[in-house]
Amino acid sequence: MHDIRLIRQDPEAFDAALARRGETESWASDLVEMDGRRRAKIQAAEEALAERNAASKEVGAAKARGDDAEFERLRGLVGQKKQEISELEEQAKIESDTLNSVLMTLPNLPLEDVPEGADEADNVEMHRWGTPRNFTFTPLEHYDVPGAKGGLDFETAAKLSGSRFVVLKGAMVRLHRALAQFMLDTHVDQNGLTETWTPVLVREEAMLGTGQLPKFAEDSYKTENGWWLIPTSEVTLTNTVAGDILSADDLPIRMTAHSQCFRSEAGSAGRDTAGMLRQHQFEKVEMVSITAPADSRAELDRMTKCAEGILEALNLPYRTVVLCTGDMGFGARRTHDIEVWLPGQNTYREISSCSVCGDFQARRMNARFRPEAEAKPEFVHTLNGSGLAVGRCLIAVVENGQNEDGSITIPDVLRPYMGGAVKISAEGMLLS
C-alpha cells in the first residue's frame, strides 16, 4: 500500500510512476481529495473534543456557584459535543476506509532502474549461464519422454480432480521429492536461509498483507469457512512479521519453505494445457527476506544468485531478465525472472521470479523495525523469490537429461537423494 503523505507531497511524481506501469488513469488528485476529507473530519472531531473538554471543566464551576441555567446549558453542550464527536469519528472512518480501499488496488511503484516497456517483449536480459545441449535427436517435451511418461499420470489426475492436475508415480515422484530436498538443503546449508514450515490455509488478512487481495481474488481458492489456500508460501512467510516491531539487530530475516501452492490460473485459459507446466496444485521452495530499507536492493541481487545457484548445480542452462515496467507483478518494485532452457519447447521458460517490494507489503501488514533502540519505528522492506518451482524444475531435468533411448540422466547433485541412481530407464526404473 502507498504512503498517502508522499502522494500529497508530490502527486505528479506518483501519477508519473503509475503511468510507467501502464496505468492510464491519474489517481493522485482523487486520493489527495479523499485524504483531505478524511483529515477534515479528524480535525473537526479533535476540535469538538477540545470544546467538550472545556465545557466539562466549566460544568462543575457553574454548579458550585449555583448558576443552574449555565449548568444546564453546559451539560447540554457536553452531550451535544459527545454526539458530534461520535458522528465525526464515524465519518472519518468511512473516509479512511474509502481511501484505503482505493490504495489497496493500486500497484507498487517501479524503481528508477526498471526498464520501460509494455509487456514481456520489452524485458531486458541481464545474463545467461550454460550452453543448451546439442541433441543428436529431436528432444521431446517432458510428458513424451519415455522414462518420464509412465510416472506422469494425467489421466488418473483428471479422474480425481479435473484438468491441470497430475499424479506422480515411481521415479518421477522420487525425482520431484529429491529436487525439493536438494533446494532446501542448499538454501539452508549454503545460502544461510532459515527453513520454515507454515500452514497452507490462511486468514483473509494474510492475503491482504501480501497483495493477493482484494484485486486478485479470482486467482486463488477460498474455503467455505473463510480460509484461503495459499498461492505461494510468500504469503505465510512474509506475514510472520505482520504487526511486529523488530529491532535492527533482527534484520535481515531470511527464510525458506517448501510448500504446496494452489492457483486457479483464472487468466490462463488455453495456455500450457499439456503437461505439468501450469497446474492448479504444485510445489515450490520459496525464499523471503525481511530487511532494513537501505539493504533491500542488494538483497534482491543476493536472492537472485541463490535461485540461480540451484540451476547451476543442476547444470541447467538459464537466462535472467529484469522485467519491464509493464510486466512486473502487482506488489513488486523490481523483479528478476530466471528462465530455464526447455529443449522440448526450444525456448526458455520462467522457473523463478525474485522481487523487491520495498515497504509496499509492510504497510499493508504494519510490519516495522526500530533503526535504534529508542528510535521511531519504520516500515521494513520485503522480498520474495522462488528457489525454485519444483515441478518446473522436474520438467527441466527430464527434458535436458533425456537420451535417445528414452532414458533420463540424473544430475550429479541429485544422485545421493535418488539412492545413488544415475539414470531413469525408458521403462521408468532407477538405474545405478
- Quickly list DSSP for 325-348: TTTS-TT-SEEEEEEEEETTTTEE
- Residue 72 above 80 pLDDT? no
Residue 12 has what pLDDT? Answer: 97
Assign 101 a pLDDT band (cuts: 50, 70, 90): very high
Q: Is 247 a catalytic residue?
A: no
pLDDT at 278: 93
Q: Which of 39, 73, 278, 363 is catalytic?
A: 278
Q: Are 338 and 311 spatial neighbours (Cβ–Cβ below 8 Å)?
A: yes
Q: Over range 58-82, report the average pLDDT.
A: 80
Scored b (16 or more CB within 10 A) or e, 146-158 reads bbbbebbbbeebe
The active-site residue out of 350, 363, 378, 425 is 350
Residues 229-238 pLDDT 10s:
999 999 999 9
Report pLDDT for 165. 97
Tell me if residue 278 is catalytic: yes
Q: Is 378 helix (H, G, I), strand (E, B) or coil?
A: strand
Does 392 qualify as catalytic in the annotation? Answer: yes
368 as an active site residue: the answer is no
**Is pLDDT at 64 greater than 80 in this prediction?**
no
The mean of the pLDDT values for the chain is: 95
Of residues 52, 164, 174, 392, which has the active-site annotation?
A: 392
Give residue-wise pLDDT tens across range 105-122. 999 999 999 999 999 999
Q: To the nearest whole percent, how much of the chain has pLDDT over 70? A: 99
Over 80: is that where the pLDDT of 189 sits? yes
pLDDT at position 357: 98
Q: Residue 267 has what pLDDT?
A: 66
pLDDT band at 269 (very low <50, low <70, confident <90, very high): low
For residue 63, name the pLDDT band (cuts at 50, 70, 90): confident
State pTM to two decimals: 0.93
Q: Is the pLDDT of residue 150 over 80?
A: yes
Number of other residues whose CB lies within 10 A of the CB of residue 398 = 26
Residue with grid cell 469457512, as numbered in its chain: 225
Specify the residue for cell string 533420463: 408
Amino acid 172: pLDDT: 98
Active-site choice (38, 52, 263, 368): 263
Q: What is the pLDDT of residue 136?
A: 97
pLDDT tens, position by position, 16-46: 999 999 999 999 999 999 999 999 999 999 9
Residue 414 has pLDDT above 90, yes or no: yes
Judged against a pLDDT cut of 70, whether residue 326 lies above it is answered with: yes
For the record, the C-alpha cell of 296 comes out as 533491500
* 283 among known catalytic residues: no
Would you say residue 368 has pLDDT above 90?
A: yes
Is the pLDDT assigned to residue 61 strictly greater than 90?
A: no
- Is the separation of the CB atoms in 106 and 26 below 8 Å? no
**pLDDT score, position 79:** 85
Does residue 311 carry a pLDDT above 70?
yes
Q: Which residues contact 375 (CB under 8 A, 6 or more apart)?
A: none
Q: What's the pLDDT at 268? A: 66
Annotated active-site residue in 353, 355, 386, 407: 353
pLDDT at 2 over 90: yes
Mean pLDDT of 197-208: 98
